[in-house]
A and B are shown apart, each in its own frame.
Chain A
Amino acid sequence: MLAFTLRRFLQAIGVMLAVGIIAFAMFRFAGDPVNQIVSIDTSAAERASIRQSLGLDDPVLVQFGRYFINALQFKFGVSYQFRLPVSSLLAERMPATLELAIVATIFAMVAGILMGVYSALRRDTILARLFQAISLIGISLPTFLIGILLIYLFAVTLGWLPSFGRGDVVKLGWWSTGLLTVSGWKAIIMPAITLGLFQMTLIMRLVRAEMLEVLRTDYIRFARARGLTTRAIHFGHALKNTLVPVITVAGLQFGSVIAFSIITETVFQWPGMGLLFVQAVQNVDIPIMAAYLLMVSLIFVTINLVVDILYTVVDPRLRSTVGRAA
């Protein structure tokens, strides 16, 4: 157990080192940092001195070491477009992304479990068929099309919900939250649905399949024989046993939700890290791209590590990995 945990931990550090090398290579070699800082009419001597002061003449290994130590302290350099430290830009944008991701995940879990249970228990009803159709759409349609469709329906045609932004935010220390105002909740509905739809279909399919499987097992038959109510059997016994894989998948998917928020945030102009990243790609702002890569990798690797370790704690049979292929 300890050996397994330790090995997983070392692997996670290995992954982070590899990602760090890629991020450093992007930072250092893709685009000249000096050119991005100075204006066109800066003389060659000035350029050389800036180059010197940034430490770009040092051996590559030394530079990597410096980048690495800085990254450990969350110093990712200065953004080319905003001329501000990347870390403060990311910190400012992080609450928006995390709030969106959490609300989307909760939506996906609640709706996914409800729809999954329903379509497992009432398999051939019209509503169950409708849920299946929705899940096909959720898997096939690109995220941004769903977002545009929602905007057209609820913002342009009906005018019920705002089409962009976070609404009014409240400052709680350094954390800015939109979840304490009515306009904030109104603003988060459509982005959260758009972002959570894929997860929702995934969870719904999973719950449906697991429920159908569990309902066939002996202990359910025994519970029926004991004369328990259908409600107690379905929700007390069957559903409870489907929840372990559901929570695992939802946990593993949380990293993907954050990464996929890139698209949702662009559609809804949601001021989070994803939007920052897309603007960085458009404007070739390498320090932000490298830092975003590191941040997202850290979140991914941490989640995977925690889930892997929890697996072995909860159920040794569950060591196979569950994840999204793409």
Chain B
Amino acid sequence: MSDAVVPHRTQDHQAPAGWVRRALDSDIFYSFRRSRLTMVAASITLLFFLLAIFASWLAVQDPFDPAQLQLLNSRIAPLWTADGQSPFLLGTDEQGRDVLSAILYGLRISLAVGIAGVVFAGALGIALGLIAGYFGGVVDTVIMRIADVQLTFPAILIALLVNGVAKSLLGNRLDEISTLGVLVIAIGLSFWVQYARTVRGSVMVEKNKDYVAAAQLIGLPAPKIMFRHVLPNTMGPILVIATINLALAIITEATLSFLGAGMPDTMPSLGTLIRIGNNYLFAGEWWIVAFPGIALAGLILSINLLGDWLRDALNPKLR
């Protein structure tokens, strides 16, 4: 990252001291302020995160609690249509579940699985990439061969297979929480390759630099050199991959749930909600599927736009 370069603009207002000022003065923030689309995308992403975090305060009911659902309220159209009823802003589904509340809770699960999946994939990929790049030789060949082979297969196929095997091994012991864990593992195992390749490439470049030789000379252990000294220098591209992968991970989770291999109906993510809602499309109850779909599309689109911007902003060649 080259955000510590000489500030090429002077700011009129008195900026606060310390890192805040450095951040406001940085090239990254400058390019952020210049792109209106990015600012909109960032606001929408932030809004989605806030909605997910405060879901239990914002929702008019707990959609997981059967005691709060009343069949009397089932299949109510959105509020602005002729059949709308307060407080169900976006209508209700078959079980009398408020669509908006379900979306808020589903958003939380989608984001949680997506973030955990990206973190797991990142940890796995970074560790393997560091090992491959730092040690080279046979270790490198083995790890990168596996990566090559896996890259030929679409992530969704790998995720589905991991899911099916886990279901087969765990059988009936699979409750909501462990399903969530399986999804995270499935996503992590499908997306680690890109991190590993990037980190390995950077490490191969970094490890020939003087500071690594110096660290080796003073006798630091290999893991310490790898994680404390080499890794920080490879973080820029990793951040970009992580952002774009977050969108991909959310899509993968939603797809798995839509295919019926993800989150169960009792703890729905956005994908599950879309699968459930899809069954009522022909009955004319479009809102059960439309709003979770719009939420998912908006979330993915804004994260993708953020990722695109970050990729350009962190790439000095494009300035």
Within 8 A of A (CB), among B286-301: 286, 289, 293, 296-297, 300-301
Given A142-B254, A278-B259, A326-B248, CB of A286 within 8 Å of CB of B164? yes
Partner of B289, one of A26, A141, A148, A284: A148
B260 engages A278 (CB within 8 Å): yes
Q: Which of A226-234, A241-249, A257-265, A310-318 contacts B (4 or more CB under 8 A)?
A: A257-265
Contact assessment for A281 and B163 in the assembled complex, using a CB-CB cutoff below 8 Å: yes
Other than the given A140-B247, A281-B261, 7 more pairs (CB < 8 A) read A139-B304, A142-B297, A145-B296, A262-B160, A263-B255, A282-B259, A289-B161
A residues 5-54 near B (Cβ < 8 Å) are 15, 18-19, 26, 30-31
Centre residue among A139, A145, A255, A284 by max chain B CB count within 10 A: A145
Q: Is the interface of A mostly helix, strand, loop or mixed?
A: helix
Near B by CB (< 8 A), chain A positions 281-326 give 281-282, 284, 286, 289, 293, 296-297, 300-301, 304, 323-326
A121 contacts the other chain (CB 8 A)? no
Q: B residues 152-175 with Cβ under 8 Å of A?
A: 152-157, 160-161, 163-165, 167-169, 171
- B168, A142: Cβ atoms closer than 8 Å: no
Which of B154, B167, B248, B255 gathers the greatest number of chain A CB atoms within 10 Å? B154
- Contact, CB under 8 Å: B160 / A141: no
Q: Is the CB of B281 within 8 A of A151?
A: yes
Near A by CB (< 8 A), chain B positions 266-301 give 274, 278, 281-282, 284, 286, 289, 293, 296-297, 300-301
A139 to B153 alpha-carbon distance, docked (Å) = 18
Q: Is the CB of A296 within 8 A of B281?
A: no
For A264-281 the 0/1 string (1 means CB < 8 A from B) is 001100000000011011
Q: Which residue of B lies closest to A260 (CB)?
A: B154
**Cβ contact within 8 Å between B248 and A141:** no
Q: List the A residue with the shortest CB-CB distance to B146.
A: A18
Which residues from A are CB-within-8-Å of B199?
A: none
CB distance from A81 to the nearest CB of B (A): 13
The answer to whether B156 and A145 have CB atoms under 8 Å apart is: no
Name A18's closest neighbour in chain B (CB-CB): B149
Task: Please encode chain B, from 164 to 191, with 1 for each CB lying within 8 Å of some chain A CB and 0 for all others.
Answer: 1101110100000000000000000011
B151 at the interface (CB under 8 A from A): yes
Which of A19, A151, A259 has a CB less than 8 Å from the CB of B156? A259
- B149, B152, B260, B261 interface centre (most CB from chain A within 10 Å): B152
A266 and B160 alpha carbons, distance in the complex (Å): 13
Beyond A30-B168, A260-B154, is A142–B296 a contact (Cβ under 8 Å)? yes
Return chain A residues, CB-CB under 8 Å to B234: none
The CA of A15 and the CA of B151, in the complex, are separated in Å by 12
Task: Answer yes or no: B251 CB below 8 A from chain A CBs.
Answer: yes
Min CB gap A256→B, angstroms: 5
Can you name 20 A-B pairs with beta carbons within 8 Å? A30-B168, A31-B169, A140-B247, A140-B301, A144-B255, A148-B274, A152-B286, A163-B282, A259-B156, A259-B157, A262-B259, A263-B259, A278-B260, A282-B260, A286-B165, A297-B153, A301-B152, A304-B152, A323-B151, A323-B152
User: Which B residues are closer than 8 A to A by beta carbons?
Assistant: 149, 151-157, 160-161, 163-165, 167-169, 171, 190-191, 194, 247-248, 251, 254-255, 258-261, 274, 278, 281-282, 284, 286, 289, 293, 296-297, 300-301, 304
Does the CB pair A296–B301 fall under 8 Å? no
A324 nearest CB neighbor, chain B only: B154
Q: With A30-B168, A145-B293, A145-B297 given, is the CB distance from A156 to B156 under 8 Å?
A: no
Q: Are A144 and B169 in contact (CB under 8 A)?
A: no
- Which one, B152, B160, B165, contacts A30 given CB within 8 A? B165
A325 to B155, alpha carbons, bound, how many Å?
9
CA A27 to CA B260, docked complex, whole Å: 22
Closest A-B pairs by Cβ, 6 of them? A31-B168, A281-B164, A30-B168, A284-B168, A30-B165, A259-B154
Beta-carbon contact of B153 and A141 below 8 Å:
no
Which of B152, B259, B282 is A281 in contact with, Cβ under 8 Å? B259
Instruction: Enumerate chain A residues within 8 angstroms of B251, measured Cβ to Cβ.
Output: 142
Chain A residue with Cβ nearest B251: A142
Determine whether A97 belongs to the interface, using a CB cutoff of 8 Å to chain B: no
B300–A142 contact, CB under 8 A?
yes
CA distance A304 to B153 in the complex (A): 11
A278-B259, A297-B153 given as contacts; is B164 within 8 A of A145 (CB)? no
Q: Is the CB of B281 within 8 A of A152?
A: yes
A40 to chain B minimum Cβ distance, whole angstroms, is 14
B194 CB, nearest partner CB in chain A, Å: 6
Judged by a CB distance under 8 angstroms, whether A119 is at the interface is: no
**Cβ contact within 8 Å between A263 and B156:** yes
Tell me if A143 is interfacial: C-beta within 8 Å of chain B: yes
Question: Does A326 contact B161, Cβ atoms closer than 8 Å?
Answer: no
Question: Across the interface, which residues of B come within 8 angstroms of A18, CB to CB?
Answer: 149
Q: Which A-chain residue is minimally distant from B149 (CB atoms)?
A: A15
> Given the complex, which residues of A lie within 8 Å of B247, measured CB to CB?
140
What is the chain B residue whose CB lies nearest that of A163? B282
CA distance A204 to B259 in the complex (A): 29
Say how far B40's CB is from chain A's closest CB, in angstroms. Answer: 14
Residues of A within 8 A of B165 (CB): 26, 30, 286, 289
Given contacts A30-B168, A31-B169, A286-B164, contact A262 B156 (CB under 8 A): yes
State in angstroms the CA–CA spacing of A167 and B258 once bound together.
24
The answer to whether residues A260 and B156 also contact, given A18-B149, A148-B293 and a CB cut-off of 8 A, is yes
Residues of B contacting A289 in the complex (Cβ-Cβ under 8 angstroms): 161, 164-165
* A152 CA / B293 CA spacing, docked (Å): 13
